[in-house]
Amino acid sequence: MSRLAMDARKQRILEAIVALYANEGEPVGSGLLASYFDMALSSATLRNEMAALTKLGLLEQPHTSAGRVPSTQGYRYYLDHLIEAPDTAPLNEADRRHIDALFADMDAEPEKLVPAAARSLADLTGCAAAATTPQAPDLCIAHFEVVQVGRYSAAVLAVTSAGGVRTRVARVDTGLSRDDAASLAQLLNRGLTFVAPQDLSPMLTASMVLAAGQRLAPVVMAAQALVTTGSQAYLEGAQYLAKMPEVRQNLGALLEIFSDNESASELIRSEGGKITATLGSDLEPPMPGACLVSKRYLAGGGLTGSVALIGSTRMEYQRLLPILDYFAAKLGQSMAGQGL
């Protein structure tokens, strides 16, 4: 669809129909549209423009009435060309204060902050929300600690080069002493600190297991898992999708994607500084009627993550996108230990 075929008036009318259909849930007629424009355009003019937009494939007429709804192509045009329009509604002050208060009460630890932020975003918007923990290409483990937890378990704590903390528990069937824990910590700090995940070879792992002894191999394997742990994805608010007829039928497929951390992280990944919008019909497997909008956040030190809203194509974009944008900024600032 070229922008040449879409003059400014057609663009405004398409924007209005997207907004009205989101609010009303019913096909938009020329009378309602005229009221939206405060009667600046006549019903006859609007009917002609709606017919032209239908001919362009941007609107559909689901019934014999004059009402129109955005087509998949219409939503795609809106998201590609109009989502960043200068007159997009800014975040209102009440929402800003509410989001600030939400973040003020959250735990700053990334593994707790990310799911808490996604849960708050879902409850605020009435959509499902997803977020990933921050990651960087060169992120690695800078320090290990091994703590005896009972007689047969060890907690392996890893501090990343960005200051985050990862933990994993290993069971040692033959028992673990404090001396064992101290020796293992020294071994892990000699062999696995500042090792990039892609450089953790089977030969290096085997040499670490050999040095630790087969009895303590589970602790080494737990440390290896911490080295290779990538970005973690969290989905919250799936119950809201169950209330959306357009999305409910695809809820199982969406949950299956989020059962695989790598697939989930890739699904909501957002590059660059702008909001990324993806229609469900463009996903694999296709999820007609769904839409995903995501935004990258910057957590300092080269760390980035993504936060996303998942809902119906009929979501209230003009209200929700400013919320998503501010939420991403707050999440990044909170990760970096800064105010906004």
Count of CA atoms in the C-beta half-sphere (13 A) of 92: 5
| Each residue's pLDDT tens digit, 21-39 | 988 788 999 889 888 888 7
Architecture in CATH of 3-82: Orthogonal Bundle (1.10)
Note whether 156 and 218 are within 8 A (CB).
no
Q: Tokens 């007609």, residue?
A: 288
| Each residue's pLDDT tens digit, 37-77 | 887 888 888 989 999 999 999 999 887 666 899 999 999 99
Q: What is the mean pLDDT of residues 332-337?
A: 86
Domain 107-135+232-335 has CATH 3.30.450.40: yes
Is pTM beyond 0.85? Reply is: no
Find the radius of gyration of the CA atoms of the chain: 25
Q: Tokens 């960005």, residue?
A: 162
The closest of 321, 320, 130, 126 to 240, measured between CA atoms, is: 126
In the chain, domain spans: 3-82, 107-135+232-335, 141-228
Confidence of residue 87 (pLDDT cuts 50, 70, 90): very low
Note whether 77 and 58 are within 8 A (CB).
yes
Note whether 170 and 218 are within 8 A (CB).
yes
Residue 96 carries which side chain, given as an amino acid letter? R
Note whether 241 and 254 are within 8 A (CB).
yes
Note whether 248 and 242 are within 8 A (CB).
yes
Note whether 122 and 129 are within 8 A (CB).
yes
CA dist., res. 206 & res. 204, Å (int): 5
CA 209 → CA 190, 194, 212, distances in Å?
13, 18, 5
Q: Among positive and negative, which fits the CA dihedral 195, 199, 204, 206?
A: positive
| Each residue's pLDDT tens digit, 113-158 | 999 999 999 999 999 999 998 888 778 899 999 999 988 999 999 9
CATH class in words for 141-228: alpha beta
Peptide bond into 285 cis (omega under 30): yes
